[in-house]
Structure 1
Amino acid sequence: MTSTSIGASSRGLSRKYLPRLANDAIIGFNPYIYTSGRWLRHDEQERSARHIPFDFEALSRRVVDLSPGASSIRECIKKEGGFNRVFLFTTDNGQRLVAKLPFTIAGPQKLTTQSEVATMHYIQTKTEIPVPKILDWNDDIFHPVKSEYIIMEHVEGVQLAQVWSMMTGDQRIRCIGTIFQHLKQVANMTFPAYGSLYYANIPLESSCKIPLDQDYCIGPHCGAMYWGCRPSEPRYYQNVESNHGPWSDLQAYCDGLVDTGITRVPPNPDLSTYPRYQGPPTEHLALLEPGRAVMQEISKDPRVLDAAAPLLFHPDLHKRNIFVSVDDPTVVTGIIDWQSASVEPAFWFSQDVPDFATYTPEARDQSHFNQELCAKAYDGSVRLLLPKLATPRLLDESLFRPFRYCYRTWKDGAVAFRHELIETSRHWADLGLPGSCPFALPDDKDLAVHQDHYKRFVAAHDLRRDVAALLNTAPDGWVPAQDWEEACKAHKELFASMSAAVLAYEDPDNDELIKSEADLREIWPFEL
């Protein structure tokens, strides 16, 4: 079946299972290509990475086969996220099923699906957390559907995101309490290693599996950051072998992060296409090895070890992934999207605040008053119900910052990781760490260059945030499909306006970072 619209591609095929409306017309959507939006940066690459060549009729047929008493599909709705395409099927007898197909950028082939299925089954058998029931799955493309997929029952209720604005402050607080009463069950579990969950009989070498019990094991981490899944972020293994885990202790976990950072550094990049704070490959490699030593020393600290307890947690705990009862929104009916859930050091999750607990203290209207209450309810729930997650929140966050930047130096530029190493070295004793920091501070000349580059890095980061806000796009430049032309026009006008403002500076200060249009282009976040 080709990647054309359903109306065109269904000629000569049985229409028995294809989606229908009440008048028997085929719904006009394209199940193969990404249609939800476009990107102001790497648009062609991003959309191409979300193309899935598969057999939609075979998928529809499988859904009908899994629905007792059904003979065809009455309706199908396509939904697209960053890493998956989801089809919401309704059969002719009213049953609703969900089919989820991963994009190649979601993670490593087979392992991503295998781990998601095993994780969901593990949670279902070990806890009472409401997760969707899996009816069928396949990790192999050599079958009629021709794509990896998971078919699940549709969760009852409604997305929390749809009703949150209509909930009272008391309802929101009780809902947050319910969410964490559920998550407490998985947070209380103990694990012998870091990595992703799989069935014990997964066909991997024994060195890649750490037994959990007779049915499950911890194996390679299936997070996309450890694999070359994105066309814009290839991997290079001339300096270090791949390191996907599992990792039996925190120091091994640190090695996995640093090795991942090394594999992202290309051998011969065209540096003229990067901002000046990017740094050549040699600079990245020269930072990552002493950075490894710094992280290894920090990993020995008893406080850090306590904050690094292996924790399985939801990777994207936001309102869109939580379902609640239509009649009572304080009752959680489902927590979905466990793809790439993994066992990480608890501190890895500690700074991620769900969107139902964010709080902006500047505003003082009623909605922000409710947000403040929700933020307090979140903090209280974490302290009382999730001590593993609460422990690292009590420590100085600077202890963990090198961990968060080491694996992405090529994406951020060498300056970001260098800055964390400099700050860690400067405050080594203040952080309560013994001896001296393995990273030596640069001399005054190199420090001055670094400070200039770091100011530009911060300016680029702030510019991305501001431009995205002004254009009403996601930070990566994603725009809903219906807003694409308007966003492109607004983008060009915004750059022209800011460029004109820069050129209007008759006598810019020496400390001014953006003195010319070339300076502005250097840190502009999207493609011009």
Structure 2
Amino acid sequence: MRNAFSLFKNQKRMSSHSSGHSTNSPGLNRSYHTNCNSNDDWFRYTRGRFLFNEAQEMSIRYVNFNMNELIKRATESVGLTSAQCSRVEKFPDGMFNKTFLFTMHDGTQVVGKVPNPNAGRAYYTTASEVATMDFARNELCTPVPKVLAWSSKAEDNTVGAEYIIMEKVAGVQLSKVWPTMGFKERFELVKTISTYQKAWMAIPFTHYGSLYYSSDMEDSDGCDLVKGVLSIPKHHRFAVGPSTGREFLDDGRIALDLDRGPWNTVEQYKSAVGLREIACVQNMTRLPRSQLSLYGPGTYCSSRSKKIAALQGYLRLVKYLLPTDPSITSAFLWHPDLHAENIFVHPERPAEVLGIIDWQSSELLPLFDHARQPDFLDYDGPPSTGIDPPVFPDGFDRLDPAEKAEAQDLYLKMSLSALYRRFTYSNNITLFKAMEFRQTTSFEMMLLAQNLLIDGEALYRSRCLDLKEEWTALPGVQASGNAPFPLLFSADEVASINEDASGAIRGMELMQSLRQSLGPMWPEKGVVRPEQYDEVKKLLQQAKAELIDQLAYSETEMAAWEEAWPFDS
């Protein structure tokens, strides 16, 4: 089942790219007038429509606040009055925030950001983001917008919501110029980003969680930044507190009382991940539906007990999965989402980075969790290891023009990805070691456990059956003196696990087929542009009818597929 496990990983990676990232290109434009609170578009999600549970998805993205007061805070941040604000524009909605551009009569511009209810827990989300931006800007020498004004206490300010007022970043979004950049320019940008990543690694932390000002954390006198280096004093301005990471918030997790840290060791952190998922499986009234698989008659039958069994296995395995090299388990601050809309570059010299935005949900995590390929490289092909360049596809000359263009595009992406790895190997060997660890069985088993609330428990348990063959090669097993394999399965359990894995594969194949049938109209994470909503909904209804006609052999099975369908009728 190893290949099936890889299929699940690839499906999960593809679904992680959301169409709802916030951008910094103006969307709805409104001239400033005396009472901006009459415009409901400021407060609601306007960028897309949801194909499942739309009322709930819209409600967690609706935030009511006093726009007139936000304008006042924005103008005061640059020494002006509300009357001197000549224009307010709303940027296209992100999935978690409302963002606005305020233009003053003298041309000065500032950006205001208000988090949605789904952005994170009240107070912690904004408090951590502001401290993180300060640290990244002033301690890690990263081009981050300066925060001009902020409040993490909605009840204590006249805006009526948490907010951040910050400088407007110069330049243009990388997404605007990336398609026209040459390969050499792209690689120069890769090197620039790699330089910032090396700077982020200059300061390890002794705890795992998220970063805050010490004044915002009770009973905190600061945090030890560098492990084992006595010459560097405690940093009294900053403290490590609870994680604001999305995995502790999304899909209903935000509502539960969970251990969000901070944690003293990497094993405590990774164990908290498994305990978090168990608590969610046990306490949620209804489990979230998978967006990776179609589960119905003849596929896999998910259950709370199977999810908990997989997670209990993870908890027994986790200490043996962890790498023993402290350089890649130390905690570092990292940008959580380096995609092309969060990076601003010089329009004429696009390898020159002028700003990196959206530090919300940043975490202090082990380096091996951070060591992903930057999203702006846009490579979703087979994972690469080592530093060798990719091989050009065989039979290229026999392809038709469209196939040649597709193959060449993939080859260029693979080449740039390989150059990133080679450059990292030459200039930041510790990060390269962390990237290599991400290609191991140990990392696979930790990564997939992070989302077993939603999906993957069947293939996870199947992978546990295979793990016994690789057991003695795992880093933690060797360090522990070859501890015995901690999981035992009866013959009946093995048969049941294998049957579940086969059904799960069938469910993934059905969803993949559905995705391919809709092509560019596929609603990534269930979201489509408003003008596409009716058409996509009709296409999904047709697809559901065809699927039920093909797979259901009784009224009972028809009803089961109706219930299992992940989109609204």
Query: TM above 0.5, one fold?
Result: yes
Q: Could you tell me which residue of structure 2 aligns to residue 62 of structure 1?
A: 73
- In 2, the alpha carbon distance for the partners of 1:88 and 1:220 equals 30
Structure 1: gaps (5+ residues): 1-9, 20-25, 506-514
Residues 101 and 69 of structure 1, relative CA distance in 2, 3 Å threshold: closer
- In 1, the alpha carbon distance for the partners of 2:64 and 2:372 equals 38
Residues 18 and 105 of structure 1, relative CA distance in 2, 3 Å threshold: closer
Matched, 1:285 2:332: no
Structure 2: gaps (5+ residues): 1-29, 226-234, 382-391, 394-402
Residues 470 and 195 of structure 1, relative CA distance in 2, 3 Å threshold: same
Q: Could you tell me which residue of structure 2 aligns to residue 43 of structure 1?
A: 54
- In 1, the alpha carbon distance for the partners of 2:71 and 2:370 equals 37
Is residue 204–residue 331 contact of structure 2 (8 Å, CA) maintained in 1? yes
Q: Could you tell me which residue of structure 1 aligns to residue 85 of structure 2?
A: 72
- In 2, the alpha carbon distance for the partners of 1:271 and 1:201 equals 38
- The residue matched to 2:525 in structure 1 has which SS? coil
What is the number of residues matched between the two proteins? 491
Is residue 195–residue 246 contact of structure 1 (8 Å, CA) maintained in 2? yes
Q: Could you tell me which residue of structure 2 aligns to residue 164 of structure 1?
A: 178
Q: Could you tell me which residue of structure 1 aligns to residue 242 of structure 2?
A: 220
Residues 520 and 478 of structure 1, relative CA distance in 2, 3 Å threshold: same
Shift of 1:100: 0.9
Matched, 1:302 2:313: no
- In 2, the alpha carbon distance for the partners of 1:436 and 1:448 equals 26
Q: Could you tell me which residue of structure 2 aligns to residue 418 of structure 1?
A: 461
- In 2, the alpha carbon distance for the partners of 1:374 and 1:520 equals 43
The letter of the residue matching 2:240 is I
Q: Could you tell me which residue of structure 2 aligns to residue 494 of structure 1?
A: 543
- The residue matched to 1:400 in structure 2 has which SS? helix
Larger RCO, structure (CA 8 Å, separation 6 or more): 2
Of 341, 346, 364, the residue aligned with 1:343 is 364
Higher helix share: 2
Q: After superposition, what is the alpha-carbon deviation per residue over 1:166-202, rounded to whole angstroms, capped at 9, x for unaligned?
A: 1111111111111222222112221112111111222
- In 2, the alpha carbon distance for the partners of 1:196 and 1:344 equals 8
- In 2, the alpha carbon distance for the partners of 1:246 and 1:484 equals 42
Shift of 1:154: 0.8
Shift of 1:129: 1.4
Of 447, 452, 465, the residue aligned with 1:409 is 452
Shift of 1:401: 2.1
Residues 219 and 375 of structure 1, relative CA distance in 2, 3 Å threshold: same
- In 2, the alpha carbon distance for the partners of 1:117 and 1:257 equals 25
- In 1, the alpha carbon distance for the partners of 2:339 and 2:452 equals 27
- In 1, the alpha carbon distance for the partners of 2:255 and 2:494 equals 30
Q: After superposition, what is the alpha-carbon deviation per residue over 1:345-370, rounded to whole angstroms, capped at 9, x for unaligned?
A: 11212345513251658764343343
Please tell me the root mean square deviation across aligned C-alpha atoms, in Å.
3.2
Shift of 1:162: 0.9
- In 1, the alpha carbon distance for the partners of 2:238 and 2:285 equals 42
- The residue matched to 1:382 in structure 2 has which SS? helix
Shift of 1:281: 3.4
The letter of the residue matching 2:530 is A
- In 1, the alpha carbon distance for the partners of 2:301 and 2:253 equals 15
Q: After superposition, what is the alpha-carbon deviation per residue over 1:430-485, rounded to whole angstroms, capped at 9, x for unaligned?
A: 44634355442423322222222223323333444443454333432111112111
Shift of 1:243: 1.1
TM-score by length of 2: 0.78
Matches within 5 A, 1:323-362: 323-358=344-379, 360=381
Is residue 99–residue 112 contact of structure 2 (8 Å, CA) maintained in 1? yes
Matched, 1:182 2:196: yes
The letter of the residue matching 2:76 is D
Of 427, 446, 451, the residue aligned with 2:498 is 451
Q: Could you tell me which residue of structure 2 aligns to residue 312 of structure 1?
A: 333
TM-score by length of 1: 0.84
Q: Percent identity?
A: 26
- In 2, the alpha carbon distance for the partners of 1:273 and 1:500 equals 22
Q: After superposition, what is the alpha-carbon deviation per residue over 1:482-518, rounded to whole angstroms, capped at 9, x for unaligned?
A: 2111111111122223334446x9xxxxxxxxx9656
Shift of 1:148: 0.5
- The residue matched to 1:403 in structure 2 has which SS? helix
